[in-house]
Structures are given as C-alpha cells and as structure tokens.
Amino acid sequence: MTIEQHQHVTNVARDVVFNESDHSRPGEQVDTKTVGQVTVEAPVITARHVNVHYSEKHAIKDVSIDVARNSVIAFIGPSGCGKSTFLRCINRMNDTIPNAKVSGSIQLDGIDIYDRSQDIVQLRARVGMVFQKPNPFPKSIYENVAYGPRIHGLAGNRADLDEIVQTSLRKAGLWEEVKDRLDNPGTGLSGGQQQRLCIARAIAVDPEVILMDEPCSALDPIATAKVEDLIDELRENYAIVIVTHSMQQAARVSQRTAYFHLGDLIEVGPTEQIFTNPRHKLTEDYITGRFG
C-alpha cells in the first residue's frame, strides 16, 4: 500500500469515528462488533478500525479500543490470534516487517501516530516496549539503561545520566542486585534480571505508555511476582499494555482485559467482569478453559 492509500484509509476511518461522536467522551458509540466497553474517559491511546495484513494473511480485523491512563490493560487470547501484532502497531514496530501493512487510525494523545508528520523515533521514545524474550544489548548493565537517554539527549552530563540509570534500575527493582557490577555485561544476568533490566531500559526514557509482550513467559514464579509488583508500581506513572497467556496474571495485574480471537477483538471490559461474568460465548469458553 502506498502512503497515499494509507492516508486515505486513515482518513476514512477517522471520518467514521468522528462522524459518530467525539471519541474522548465516555459512552461514545464506536461502530464495532466488539462486546463490552471499548472506550474510556480521557484515553492515552485510541485505536479505531485497525487492520493488519501480512501479505495475504489478515492478522488484525477492524479492531477499535482505548487504553486508559495510569492503568494496566491485558490482552489475552489463544496463540496466533494477533495480540503481539496489535501491540506492535502501537509503537509502529510492524514498520520493520516488510510485508506487514497497517491501516486504520491509532492516536496517541489525540495525534495520529501513522500520520506522515509523526516522527517514528519520537513515537518510540514515548511508547516503550518490553519484549517476550529478554533482549538486553550485549553491553554493560549501565550502558543498557543509559542507551535510551543517551540517544535522545535526555541527560546533560554524566551525573544526570548516572541519576537516570540509578532511578530506572530502582524502579525496576534491580538496583540492589546490580549496583556493584554496573560494568558487567547485561547478558550475564539471569533471565528474570535481564527482563527487569529491559524494563529499566524502557522506563529510562520516561515514556507515556509501556508495551509488554508476555514479559514473564521465561521467568520463574519469584521473578514473575517481582515483575508483577513492578507493573503495579509503574501504573502510577504510566499506561501499560501487557500481553499474557496467564489468566491469573491478567487477573492480578490488570484493570481492563481485552480478549482477541483469530484477529478479532471479541470483548473488552473491566478485568473483574471479564473473569467473573464474560458476556461473549467465546470469551467464556476461553476463560473456562474450553478453548484449545
């Protein structure tokens, strides 16, 4: 798809949304098949009619959803349903996949991130990402955390940078474990420590939104608990989108839950309600373990 076409689709999609009502108002009527409450008050992210194609494969089908500030939303659903794909739309990581085509509109604070004027570097500084597999840079622990502030010019001098590194590692709950070996390679840490290092790296640039793709899938229960506590603390300052296969985890850390199924967003709602009283049959099947 060319940029022009993309713009066209974006505009059409936006027209549909705007014609219905102002999306920032609660109770907005969005033209969607999704069951539940897709909109929230004063959302940080507003996705409308997002479609993703990998060549012929239609991986995300007309998904509309809001992400609220200072809260955690969990994406759940069977493997291959498009959770990661949708997550990667939010910081445009899908741009790096040559055959992936995204259409629709995703707004961050009311600005379309797929707009031509949107700087992708700036976007990714505002929307941080933690990947499923811990992927620290093969550099020192210090360099790992300092990398983001350094490329974005956030620290004026070495002392500022030291400060940022320390606070980020503290927030990620890793400081006590690594403060004496900041010069050791980040790849030499344990899996759980590496994942917390990646979280520290992501929050070092002080983003508005943090995307986490199954951050605990490689971790033991203790490390998982630490990361979950961390997510709960981070919620005070950031909006967090987390993909998880663990129902318990979704229930523990999130305020809202979204259920994806074969590229469709089936149901969104308060976590409590989704787990106790799902409104859609597919959601219920999945929650109760009747699905694959």
Partner 1 sequence: MTKTAMAMTTTQARVAASLRRRYAAEMRFRAYGILAICIGLAFVAFLFTSIISKGYTSFQQTYIALDIDYSAELIDPEGTRAAQTLQAADYEAVIKASLKEQFPEVEGRASLRHLYGMISNAGEQLLRDRVVAKPSLIGTHERVWLLADDHVDTFFKGQIDRKLPESDRPISDEEIVWVDQWKAQHRAELRFNTAFFTTGDSREPEQAGVAGALAGSALTLLVTLLLSFPIGVAAAIYLEEFAPRNVWTDIIEVNINNLAAVPSIVFGLLGLAMFIQFFGMPRSAPLVGGLVLSLMTLPTIIIAGRASLKAVPPSIREAALGMGASRVQMVAHHVLPLALPGMLTGTIIGMARALGESAPLLMIGMVAFIVDVPHSLSDPSTVLPVQIYLWARSPERAFVERTSGAIMVLLGFLLVMNAVAVILRNRFERRWS
Residues in the chain, overall count: 292
Based on the number of CB atoms within 10 Å of its own CB, is 151 exposed (0-12), middle (13-18) or buried (19 or more)?
Answer: exposed
Shortest CB 97 distance to ligand ATP, Å: 5
Query: Tokens 């959601």, residue?
Result: 283
Q: Which is nearer to ligand ATP, 83 or 280 (CB)?
A: 83
Chain contacts with partner 1 (rule: CB under 8 A): 91, 93, 96, 98, 121-125, 128-129, 131, 133, 135-139, 147-148, 151-152, 185, 187, 198, 201-202, 205
- Window 27-66: contact mask with Mg ion (x via CB under 5 A): ----------------------------------------
Q: How far apart (Å, rounded) are the C-alpha atoms in residues 35 and 142?
A: 45
Chain contacts with ligand ATP (rule: CB under 6 A): 54, 57, 59, 77, 79-85, 97
Q: Which is nearer to ligand ATP, 235 or 261 (CB)?
A: 261
**For residue 162, what are the contacts with CB-CB under 8 A and spacing of at least 6?**
none
User: Which one of ligand ATP, Mg ion, partner 1, none is in contact with 81 (Cβ closer than 5 to 8 A by kind)?
Assistant: ligand ATP
**For residue 43, what are the contacts with CB-CB under 8 A and spacing of at least 6?**
23, 24, 66, 67, 68, 69
Q: Is residue 259 a contact partner of residue 267, using CB atoms and an 8 Å limit?
A: yes
* Number of residues this chain uses to bind Mg ion (CB under 5 A): 1
Shortest CB 202 distance to partner 1, Å: 8
Question: What's the token pair of residue 205?
Answer: 């640039």
Q: Which is nearer to partner 1, 43 or 128 (CB)?
A: 128
